Structure 1
């Protein structure tokens, strides 16, 4: 048996408050389909959300999990990271069951999107929480009569408690593009430690990653997405962000499931889906 969840408000914006029977909690905005909070059962907040974020229609929220679609960064003619994170999404369903809580939101093309990206599409994001796990699935269907291509990401900001000792494990042997120096490289060590600005797109990620942050461990894996973007702005760029407090960059690391380097190509009627799962160990 499931219990429907009604729309409420968070920071003045329409939102869904997910509550699993085991105590897991999450908050999902309809604005941008933006997940702004995730508290696993018996645990504290796992996502970073800037206290200076602007919760305003049409503006992106700094932190949580922004939905990047249909363009990653500036790799194309659209605005940075596309338009999905600034659009209102429609609620498809939201309910709590005996083991979990799930919400599904949908975004379709309209006159404004077709002016900048002339395609008929339907995008959906599904957010599921249960116990100490968070599952996020982004899907897109080509509803038009011509092929379309896009890039996308789940721009997940993970909270850090110990920046100096934090590391990401599981990257050994992976090729990457370092956006800070515009150069390709290969990861030779299994652990990536933070040391100033980090902005890398790791390719063909097939194995689990583990964020080590003090005594805390988060296991992260993905399906459908071929890339993983690891980002921290560092001191100079972090403190220059108007929607992040001074030193806020020390409290976050983005580990993004992404399709950034090779666009997804969909023929009319075809569908793609990508999943990121995070588990507090």
Structure 2
């Protein structure tokens, strides 16, 4: 039997506090369908959220899991990272079951979106927590009469406790675009260690990744998304961010499930879905 989860408020914005029977917890804003927090059963916070984040209508939150749609970064004519993360999403359902907690939010086109992106669409995000697993699925349906093309990502900020020794495992052999140096390259080492600014789009991810941070191991998998973005602003750019404290860049690493290098092409009436799963092992 399921128990409905009611809307509360977090930092003045409408939010859902998901709690699974085993103690796993998550906080999800309706603003931007933005996941702020994920605490697995018997563990600590796994996401990074900047203490200087703005919680205001129309503004993006720094940290957690922003929803990037329908444009990644500045790769197109829209505002950076698209409009979805700054829009109010509608609650479809939220409930705690006997084994998990699940919330579904929806975003439809409106007059404001059609002014900048002339498409009729319905986007949904589903957030599920159970034990030490977080599942995030982003789906989109083309509800118009013409084809539409878009890029998207789940811009996941992972919390780091030991920046100097932290690494990401599983990228060996993958081609990537280095946005920091504006060049293409190939990853040769299996362990990617953090060393200054990093902004890479890895192509055709086939295997799970593992974040190694001290004794912590976080498995990262994805379906539907073909790219993985790995980003840390480094000291110069990180300390220059108005919504991140000095040194905050040492406490985070973005590992994003993304569709960037080959945009999604949706004919009328067709749907697409992509998922990222995090598991604390």
Matched, 1:185 2:185: yes
Which runs of structure 1 show a deviation greater than 6 angstroms over 4 or more consecutive aligned residues? none
| Counterpart secondary structure, 1:113 | helix
Structure 1 equivalent of residue 206 of structure 2: 206
Return 5+ residue gaps in structure 2 as ranges: none
**Offset at 1:236?**
0.0
Structure 2 equivalent of residue 243 of structure 1: 243
Structure 2 equivalent of residue 143 of structure 1: 143
Equivalent positions of 1:104-119 (< 5 A) are 104-119=104-119
Structure 2 equivalent of residue 252 of structure 1: 252
Structure 1 equivalent of residue 220 of structure 2: 220
Aligned equivalents of 1:39, 1:229: Cα separation in 2? 23
Structure 2 equivalent of residue 90 of structure 1: 90
Write the deviation string for residues 60-101 of structure 1: whole angstroms up to 9, x where unpaired: 000000000000001100000000000000000000000000
CA RMSD of aligned residues (A): 0.3
Aligned equivalents of 1:265, 1:125: Cα separation in 2? 19
Structure 1 equivalent of residue 56 of structure 2: 56
Aligned equivalents of 1:150, 1:122: Cα separation in 2? 13
Structure 1 equivalent of residue 4 of structure 2: 4
Write the deviation string for residues 94-152 of structure 1: whole angstroms up to 9, x where unpaired: 00000000000000000000000000000000000000000000000000000000000
Output the TM-score relative to the length of structure 1. Answer: 1.00
Structure 2 equivalent of residue 43 of structure 1: 43
Aligned equivalents of 2:193, 2:44: Cα separation in 1? 23
**Offset at 1:206?**
1.1
**Offset at 1:237?**
0.1
Aligned equivalents of 2:279, 2:74: Cα separation in 1? 30
Aligned length: 281
Write the deviation string for residues 191-227 of structure 1: whole angstroms up to 9, x where unpaired: 0000000000000001000000000000000000000
Return 5+ residue gaps in structure 1 as ranges: none
Output the TM-score relative to the length of structure 2. Answer: 1.00
